């Protein structure tokens, strides 16, 4: 009987910790500080994103967002549908065809720094080779 009591408290503690983590991440990564800003840039096609942090875990794993990088290496989190607009096909195929994509994003600055999830407003096709990273 004692093992069930210990197991119950372990499960309750784990559940409370996970809930607290999600709540704190939501406050930190969703509390806006001002109106949305417009950001424009050329897409940086990075195949293997090894940068893993709390923000990436919260946005990608828990909320299902996708990571999009611009040519200045800034990282934005967008919906998968928006990512398909900026990444229409393989960057290697785009390189052979001689074009890349430029996007205009709307994102709100956050109270604790950085930007909230971005929304792609427009995409433009540029006649130049894409920037591809590993």
Model confidence pLDDT, tens digit, residues 13-54? 999 999 999 899 888 888 888 888 999 999 999 877 777 788
pLDDT-derived band at 1, boundaries 50, 70, 90:
low
Task: Answer for the pair 108, 115: CB distance below 8 angstroms, yes or no.
Answer: yes
Query: pLDDT (tens digit, 9 = 90+) per residue, 52-97?
Result: 788 888 888 888 899 999 988 789 999 989 999 999 999 999 999 9
Range of the domain at 19: 2-133
SS3 call for 99: coil
CA 1 to chain centre: 46
**How many domains, the chain?**
1
109: pLDDT strictly greater than 80: yes
Rounded CA-CA distance 37/108 in Å is 6
Of the candidates 70, 71, 61, 79, the residue with the CA atom closest to the CA atom of residue 116: 79
């Amino acid at each position: 009987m004692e093992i069930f009591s210990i197991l119950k408290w372990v499960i309750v503690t784990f559940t409370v910790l996970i809930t607290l983590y999600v709540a704190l991440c939501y406050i930190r990564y969703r509390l806006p500080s001002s109106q949305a800003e417009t950001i424009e840039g050329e897409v940086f096609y990075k195949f293997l994103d090894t940068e893993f942090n709390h923000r990436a875990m919260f946005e990608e794993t828990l909320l299902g967002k996708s990571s999009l990088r611009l040519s200045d290496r800034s990282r934005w989190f967008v919906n998968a549908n928006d990512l398909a607009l900026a990444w229409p096909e393989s960057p290697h195929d785009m390189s052979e065809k001689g074009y890349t994509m430029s996007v205009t994003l709307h994102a709100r600055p956050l109270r604790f720094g950085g930007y909230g999830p971005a929304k792609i407003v427009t995409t433009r096709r540029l006649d130049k080779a894409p920037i591809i990273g590993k």
